[in-house]
Amino acid sequence: MCHALLSDARLYATLWTFDQDLAVQARAAGCGCGGTLHSARFPRKPRGGPPDLGPAYDRRLSFCCAVEGCRQRTTPPSVRFLGRRVYLGAVVVLTTAMRHGVSPARATRLHDLLGVSLRTLKRWRRWWREAFVRGPFWKRARGRFAPPVDVGRLPASLLERFAGADEATRVVAALAFLAPLTTASARALAGDSRVG
C-alpha cells in the first residue's frame, strides 16, 4: 500500500532537494523588471506526511523583487505541494491513485495514517477526473502520452507512464510533471479553486 512510501523520509528529502533546484532556477532568472529576487518564503502547514518532516516543509520557497515599486512575488513550481492544497502533493497523488478505489476500510485506514477524510478523498478524485482533464494544462500536456492516458483512472494511469526503478522514482517524476500547476498562474489552468 502507499502508506509505506508516504512515510519514507527519503521521498520527502528528494522532493525538498528538487524544490531547492527549482528555486535556484527561478531566482537566477530574476524578476521580469530586471530586479534581483530576495527570499520571501511563506508558511505552510502541510498535512499527511510523517511527523519528522522538519522545518523545511513548514515553508514554501518564494521570492520578492528588490526593486522599490515592483516588489513582484515569484513563487517557483513545487514538487512538495500541489497548489494550495494543505495535504502534501505525494499524499494527494498516491491516495487517489489506489488501484481498487477507496473502500470504507481503506478510507478509515487512510484517515488513521494521514488524517485525510473520505470526503476529501472523493473531492480529490473528482478534481482529477473533472476539473483537471478539462483544464488547459492537461489539454496541452496529454499529447505527450501515446497511447492516451486513461482519464477514468487518473492519477494512477498517469503514474504508470513514468519510468523508474521503483514507485518513489515514478512519484517524483509525476510530481515534477505536475509542478507547473503549483504556481498561482497555473492553478487557474487546472481548475484548482479548492483547498484541501
Buried b (16+ CB within 10 A) or exposed e, 153-176: ebbbbbbeeeeeeebbebbbbbbe
Q: In 10 A of CB 26, how many CB atoms?
A: 18
User: At residue 78, what is the residue type?
Assistant: S
Is a pLDDT exceeding 90 seen at residue 100? no
pLDDT tens digits for 172-186?
A: 999 999 999 888 754
Contacts with 48 (C-beta within 8 Å, 6 or more apart), sequence order: 6, 87, 88, 90, 91, 114, 115, 116
Provide the pLDDT confidence category of residue 99 given band limits of 50, 70 and 90. Answer: low
What is the rounded average pLDDT for all residues in the chain?
A: 88
pLDDT score at 190:
47
pLDDT at 154: 93
Sorted by sequence, the CB contacts under 8 Å of residue 187 that are 6+ apart come out as: 83, 84, 181, 193
Question: Would the pLDDT of 188 be above 90?
Answer: no
What global pTM score does this model have? 0.88
What are the boundaries of each domain within the chain? 2-190
Single-letter residue type at 139: K
pLDDT at 195 over 80: no
Share of the chain above pLDDT 90, in %: 61
Query: Does position 133 have pLDDT exceeding 80, yes or no?
Result: yes
Cα pseudo-dihedral 140, 189, 158, 7, rounded to 10: 150
Per-residue confidence (pLDDT) for residue 155, from 0 to 100: 94
Beta bridge partners of 47: 87
* Gap between the Cα atoms of 153 and 36, Å rounded: 43
Q: Where are the alpha helices (DSSP H) in the chain?
A: 2-6, 9-29, 89-96, 104-114, 118-126, 133-134, 136-141, 156-159, 167-178, 184-187
H or E element at residue 192: none
With residues binned 3-state (H G I as helix, E B as strand, rest as coil), the percentages for the chain, rounded to 5, are 55, 10, 40
Question: Residue for cell digits 513514468?
Answer: 162
- What is the rounded distance in angstroms from the CA atom of residue 114 to the CA atom of residue 60? 21
pLDDT digits (tens, 9 = 90+) for 9-63: 999 999 999 999 999 999 999 999 999 999 999 999 999 988 888 898 999 999 9
Mean pLDDT of the 134-139 span: 91
